[in-house]
Chain A
Amino acid sequence: MVSKFWNAEIETMPRKKLEQLQIERLKKTVEIAMGSPFYAPKFKELSITPDSIKSIEDIRRFPFTTKNDLRSTYPFGIASISLDRVVRLHSSSGTTGNPTVILHTQRDLNEWADAMARSMYCIGLRNTDIIQNTSGYGMFTGGLGIQYAAERLGALTVPAGAGNSKRHVKFITDFGTTALHCIPSYANRLAAAFLEEGIDPRDTTVRTLIIGAEPHSEAQRKRIEELWGAKAYNNFGMSEMCGPGVAIECREQNGMHIWEDNYIVEILDPDTLQPVPEGEQGELVLTTLNREAMPLFRYRTRDLTSIVPGDCPCGRTHKRLARFQGRSDDMMIVKGVNIYPIQIEKILMQFPQLASDYLITIETIDDNDEMTVEAELAQATDDYGLLRNLSKEITYRLKSEILITPIVKLVGKGVIPQSEGKAKRVNDLRKNF
């Protein structure tokens, strides 16, 4: 009989036993991280040693780790082992200052591929599938992360990469691709590309879409499923934890199972940093349990979510994360790119022709994210040419900073609504949540 599970023992492990496994792995991870110049002094100060860990509650004695810590220790300052055992690094797209670098040993890569293969198996993909990846191959984990996992699954894997919809259409048609990995907005764009060629995406061989890396609503998923006549499963990963393969929906499509043999999951109130009751919303905080090059403890993801209460009918015992409800910081994800308002502010403030007020509006236009930046002019001019060149220059400089092209609008005084207290800088009309 063909198993429902990639790794039945782990995936259906009774909670008590799973917790024991977590404790064992946490001890092991602490032992490894004693080699990290970042964690070693902190552990010493807090008297954290492998032997001091008795229960899973002990996680609350650990210090938090933030994206800022990753930046300030750029590039190798958190590494727990010497670089001769590191075989790969990935770097995140967040570009407020230093990028963040994540290191992997060969074992890390194997475990990562295994976890993502498990995720693929979980949504029904098998070695008979043909999986086409639309993520960029390179520093972004969605490329190689999916590639290695799909190969581990035994599927024929098409590393088509980002962009060039016409080529994707041809490959899907010619190869008989059965599964796609893409961000939700690209699922829409690719469907449009098929329609342009006179092909209904529902008539293609694609039956499964793995979607993620971009916040989207249940309604959006339904629409993607209708467009493609296929199932679309929400997939969660982040380069800090490895990449894709941290959590995925099962075929129940009611929350993403987070692989707890690999992570300790906490949902905390972002202000008090105390745990919220199960089912309530808080910030997802993760500790890696199965990584050696660069374990991270209590990493603040800034993603707001909750645990879906109760047992899942699929039989997996690993907790389920509800659809993400936003961020506890002001990061925006636009066209799959992580952007902070401060990046935009930094650029705008370089223009003496602009005053200090600005407003970022994000909306969905023809199935795509569009960002508009309204910037307040500091002074009038009698020259249309100056205004045109100014908006062109602002657009160009923003594009080089945030990697997407916003629509720049120059406005006069008082057009940007003044709010009491903290200025409202972002107006997200996408209704993702």
Chain B
Amino acid sequence: MKTIKQISIFLENQRGKLSDILTALKDENIEIQAASVADTIDYGILRLITSNQMKASELLSAKGHLVIINEVLAIEVESDTAAFANAIDVLTSGGCTINYLYTFHKAGKLVLIIRPSNLEKAEKVALSNGLNLIRGWE
């Protein structure tokens, strides 16, 4: 499997909740590479890609947060819109649907974090069309 681990943390709308999480990660020198949270009324899900997902997950669980690890695709493309568009086109033309997506820059490249509705299929489509999938980065 050429996928990476993402951690998702249940986030109720409560003052200080996000700070708690970030402080805990900082204290253990865990670097956040990408983060995403959508706006909802009562609760949110904080999705993180960090320098050490297992450690981050254990740490946050121990602090009483609800954490789950799941697999997502990380596709590395050139840092321009055309490359971004191409990657999405490849997936959707291949019949994949995307549940959510967020991006970040890494060493001059653009990394797309994608959760497709069918992970295995999306992985196959990406590989057979020459997209560059990242497998972890520990």
Contact = CB atoms under 8 A, between A and B. Distances in A.
Nearest to B17: A412
**Interface bin, chain A:** 10 to 19
B14 A415 contact: yes
B65 A413 contact: yes
A384 B40 CA distance: 10
Interface in B11-46: 11-12, 14, 17, 38, 40, 42-43, 45
B67 interface: yes
Interface stretch (B2-10, B102-110, B125-133): B2-10
B126 to A, nearest CB: 20
Interface string B43-54: 101010000000
Given A410-B42, A411-B43, A412-B12, A381 B68 contact: yes
B68 A379 contact: yes
Interface string A226-258: 000000000000000000000000000000000
B115 A413 contact: no
B101 interface: no
B45 to A, nearest CB: 6
A387 interface: yes
Interface string A309-321: 0000000000000
Contacts of A366: none
Contact of B66 (A379, A384, A391, A409): A379
Question: For A384, A387, A412, which residue has the most chain B Cβ atoms within 10 angstroms?
Answer: A412
Given A413-B64, A415-B12, A382 B45 contact: yes
Interface string B65-95: 1111010000000000000000000000000
A244 B10 CA distance: 49
| Tier of interface size on chain B | 20 to 34
A379 B8 CA distance: 11
B42 to A, nearest CB: 5
A373 to B, nearest CB: 12
A382 B8 contact: yes
B64 A382 contact: no
Given A387-B43, A412-B66, A413-B64, A381 B12 contact: no
Contacts of A387: 43, 45
A155 B91 CA distance: 76
A426 to B, nearest CB: 20
Contact of B9 (A380, A383, A391, A415): A380
A381 B38 CA distance: 14
A380 B12 contact: no
A377 B66 contact: yes
Contacts of A379: 66, 68
Contact of A412 (B6, B10, B38, B115): B10
A352 interface: no
Contacts of A411: 12, 43
A136 B66 CA distance: 45
Contacts of A414: 64
A413 B63 CA distance: 10
Nearest to B11: A412
Nearest to A415: B12
A392 to B, nearest CB: 13
B8 A412 contact: no
B10 A377 contact: yes
B65 A384 contact: no
Interface in A374-394: 377, 379-384, 387, 391
Given A377-B10, A377-B66, A382 B38 contact: no
Given A411-B12, A412-B10, A380 B43 contact: no
A358 B94 CA distance: 45
Given A412-B10, A414-B64, A382 B115 contact: yes
A373 B120 CA distance: 39
A384 B99 CA distance: 10
Contacts of B64: 412-414
Contacts of B40: 384
Interface in A78-117: none
Nearest to B68: A380
B124 to A, nearest CB: 21
Contact of A384 (B17, B38, B67): B38
Given A380-B45, A411-B43, A412-B43, 15 more contacts: A377-B10, A380-B9, A380-B68, A382-B8, A382-B70, A409-B12, A409-B42, A410-B42, A411-B12, A412-B11, A412-B17, A412-B64, A413-B64, A414-B64, A415-B12
18 contacts: A377-B66, A379-B66, A380-B68, A381-B68, A382-B115, A383-B99, A384-B40, A387-B43, A410-B12, A410-B43, A411-B43, A412-B10, A412-B11, A412-B64, A413-B64, A413-B65, A415-B12, A415-B14
Interface of B: 6, 8-12, 14, 17, 38, 40, 42-43, 45, 47, 64-68, 70, 99, 115
Interface of A: 377, 379-384, 387, 391, 409-415
* 7 shortest interchain CB distances as A-B pairs: A380-B66, A382-B8, A380-B68, A380-B10, A413-B64, A411-B12, A412-B10
